[in-house]
Amino acid sequence: MATMFLSWSVFIAVTVLAVQLCIGEKSCNIKSTAGSVVQRGSSFTVYCTFNCKRKGSMYCDDPTTLQTHKDYNSTTIYVNVVNITKSRTYSCRCECCPQLDPCGLDILAGYPPDHPENFTCTYEVRTKESGLLVCTWNRGRDTYLGTRSKLRVRTVTGNHTAGPHSVSSTGTESLSASFAMSRSVQLISVWVEVNNSLGFVESSISEYSLSDIAMPLAPGLYLLECSSRKCIIKVEEPVKTQHVQIEYTADQQTWTTSLDSVVQMNSSQVRSVSSLEPYTLYYFRARSKFSTGIWSEWSANISSWTQEEAPAEELDVWFTEPESDFKSTTVYWKEPNTSISRGKIIGYKVSTGRPNLKVYNISADARSYSVPFCAGCEVTVWACNSKGLSPPARVTTRRTKVKPSLEVRVSAGNYSIAISWTKAETAPLLPTGYVVEWYPEGPQLQELRWVKLDQNEKQTVISGIKAFECYEGAVYVFYDESSVSWTRFKGVATLESAPAAGPMVKEKVEGNEVKITWTELPRSQRRGCISSYSIYLEDSSGHRELYSVASPERTYTINGLSPGVYSLSMSASTSTGGEGPAGQKVKFFIDQEAHISLLLVCGILSVIALFLVCLCQCSAVKQRFFEFFQCFMLDVVPDPANSKWAKEYTQDKDKMSLMLQQSNSSASTEEEEPILVDVEELPKQSSDVSMPTDVSMPTDVSMPTDVSSQLPPQTDLNPGTDPATLLYPPTTYIKSFSHDSDSSDQTQTSLDTNSTVDYISSHGPGNLDEEDEEEEEEEFVGMNFFPSHNIFLDSLEFGGKLTLDAVKIDCSDFFQNT
């Protein structure tokens, strides 16, 4: 019995639990004092009552956040919500019975609807009988709640009133509603009703006359044709209107209204839009309106090019100074804008002018051309399009330079350069115009720009200047077609920074100095105007020297370097950007021999000079030297044997009887040391022909035929004979030197018997051969390398014509015999 009772108890408990789970019994109840929809910014209290034995907890949102609650009684807790700003979800959970479902409450926070704003209505006329009433308004601020808006319409047709009709709105912020309506309606009354969970509002009632708000649909445009100055446009309308307006523009920013005539063609119109420019892309649009009402929407844009015309104006032409060789000059021109070109430029023509007229055809992409230089010629440039040529633009290459009369001031701004000038007080003429040119620094002028100003202009601002670029240019002032002066400016930059790299260096070592050369930095690496260069020289010990070189120098020489290994590098600097990084290092070596090379050269030259001086002491060398350079003498030295005296001597040779001294027979004996003898010059005697040691005889002096009769008899000179008893010592040779007729009249005695000279023998013709042999032997014996006497004591005199004024009697035989 007891067992059966226990079984039934378990069955009943399981059944009750199953029923609870099936019916979803909750563990609690939750509610808010403000309800489930509240206004943002309000405050309220949320209560939670539990059905279990013990109280639970309250949570907010998902993921759940535990809330700090307060106890209301043994089964209820609550939470105060202050200034709610958004919709939230609150929930409670019983901790003792987790199998039971928690309870929850969604609270929506929002605003009541605002009154509609900017309420307007238009009546779009679609056909001749009907149209569509379209009303729009702004709903105001977002309510964050479900809000419904309705358009209410009441119509009046004659004496009949209909409505109000309701139309739901569409849209989000700007709401609209449309209502189909017959064109027979005369008056309408419209308003808007808006409501949500927090409130209800309606707008004020607006009344309209249907004709006042009637608006046709946008017309359709079709382009028929365009010439260079006008376009024909066709306008089509669904419903005929009384007004059509057409506008056009070339830049889609500023629209111009066309006021041209209208041609009516049933349901369409043909409009002529004139006052257009040639070769211009135009955009057109149109709208229409009834006699009353409002304008329609603009039609879709259509576009078209007008046709071309021949260019209307001459080109803006400028030219540079001719090249240094005056072989060519370059002419520049600006690309004409559409208003000048009036068409697509297909090329240019350049003429060098008369007298040799020649025209060059240039491509459309070119902006300059180099023509052969022609002094005083005019260069003419034309632009060409499909319709013809522009007026000729002429520029003369002949310039008469006038002394500069301008004081130019240049200041750099933000991507611009301001240039102003004043006329000097000493200006000779009144200017007729100015030209300002500028270009990036360097020899290339592909980016040459210029502007022409009239005579009243005194300043200009150049825009479009590139940052970190160095510019130069000039201001030209023209006084007439050919008289011009100019003032140049250079080194102008708007922004500068340190150069991006250092120059490339080349070195050349010469002795104890090094010559440094470098190339100019590329434009992209200069970062402004280069003001100076820094040369860093470092020796093997790490000691560094700095040398500064001002721009635009490209070479520098460092001298006085000691032997050793050096490293060299360079950097560049701008005026405001500072110094850039140094370039690649270059190593070179100063040799030790460089310092002693000069001493070695001087020593070698001294040795060579000493050797030549010693060599010249030899008589044979002197003779060879004389023979070698004899061809450079002005006159050939004549042979004394051809003199008149020698010829007379030859004719009377049989009458000459000269006795040779005994000592002459021993010619082959060894040469003894010379004996010095005092020679006394005797006074001239009338009975004898006496010839002192140094006597000059005229060339035309006639010698007696019998020479032997005038010579003293030969006497043997033995050691016992007194040399003073002889009036005239016997003379073997007459030594001759060539003198000019106006040269020194003195004859010098030579004691050098080894000199190779020509003599007239006094021994007679029979001894000529023997004397030749003796001379050869003496010449061979005299080939001593170091002679015993000084060359400077034996003076040689060379001249042109030989005269007997310069005949000298050699007494060497007398001393030899002695």
The CATH number that domain 117-210 falls under is 2.60.40.10
Residue recorded with tokens 């005269």: 803
The CATH number that domain 215-306 falls under is 2.60.40.10
pLDDT of residue 517: 93
Q: Find the mean pLDDT for residues 360-372.
A: 89
pLDDT higher for 461 or 803? 461
pLDDT for 486 beyond 70? yes
Taking the C-alpha atoms of 652, 658, 660 and 661 in order, what is their torsion angle to the nearest 10 degrees? Answer: -160
Helices (H) and strands (E) in the chain, counts: 9, 53
pLDDT of residue 676: 56
Reported as a single tens digit per residue, the pLDDT across 624-639 is 766 766 655 555 556 6
Return d(Cα 720, Cα 791) in angstroms, integer. Answer: 36
Percent helix, percent strand, percent coil in the chain, to nearest 5: 15, 40, 45
The pTM is what?
A: 0.54
Return d(Cα 681, Cα 811) in angstroms, integer. Answer: 13
Return d(Cα 439, Cα 446) in angstroms, integer. Answer: 8
Which of 323-337, 532-546, 779-793 has the weakest average pLDDT? 779-793
Q: Find the mean pLDDT for residues 664-671.
A: 41
Return d(Cα 222, Cα 489) in angstroms, integer. Answer: 58
Q: Find the mean pLDDT for residues 589-606.
A: 72
pLDDT of residue 325: 60
Q: Find the mean pLDDT for residues 69-81.
A: 89
- Domain spans, the chain: 26-110, 117-210, 215-306, 308-387, 399-495, 504-590
pLDDT of residue 787: 42
- Nearest residue to 295 via CA among 247, 330, 223, 343: 247
What is the CATH architecture of 504-590?
Sandwich (2.60)
pLDDT for 675 beyond 70? no
In DSSP notation, 130-160 reads EEEEEEEEE--S--SS--EEEEEEEEEETTE
pLDDT of residue 65: 85
Matching CATH topology for 26-110 and 308-387? yes
pLDDT for 769 beyond 70? no
**Alpha-carbon separation of residue 302 from 221, 234, 249, 273 (angstroms):** 7, 11, 11, 13
pLDDT of residue 42: 93
Tell me which amino acid residue 111 is: Y
Distant-in-sequence, close-in-space partners of 368: CB < 8 Å, separation ≥ 6? 330, 331, 332, 333, 445, 446, 448
Confidence band for 645, pLDDT divided at 50, 70 and 90 = low
Q: Find the mean pLDDT for residues 466-492.
A: 86
pLDDT for 671 beyond 60? no
Strand partners, 351: 359, 380
pLDDT for 564 beyond 60? yes
pLDDT of residue 537: 92
**Fold adopted by 308-387:** Immunoglobulin-like (2.60.40)
Reported as a single tens digit per residue, the pLDDT across 222-266 is 999 999 999 999 999 889 888 899 999 998 889 999 887 666 656
Reported as a single tens digit per residue, the pLDDT across 518-554 is 988 988 899 999 999 999 999 888 889 999 999 889 9
What is the CATH architecture of 399-495?
Sandwich (2.60)
Confidence band for 643, pLDDT divided at 50, 70 and 90 = low
Which of 253-262, 273-282, 414-423, 742-751 has the weakest average pLDDT? 742-751
pLDDT of residue 652: 57
The pair of structure tokens assigned to 463 is 């825009």
pLDDT for 779 beyond 80? no
Q: What is the mean pLDDT of the chain?
A: 76
Reported as a single tens digit per residue, the pLDDT across 93-139 is 887 776 778 888 999 999 999 988 889 999 999 988 899 999 999 98
88 three-class SS: strand
Q: Find out whether 583 and 571 touch, Cβ atoms under 8 Å.
A: yes
Domain 26-110 part of CATH 2.60.40.10: yes
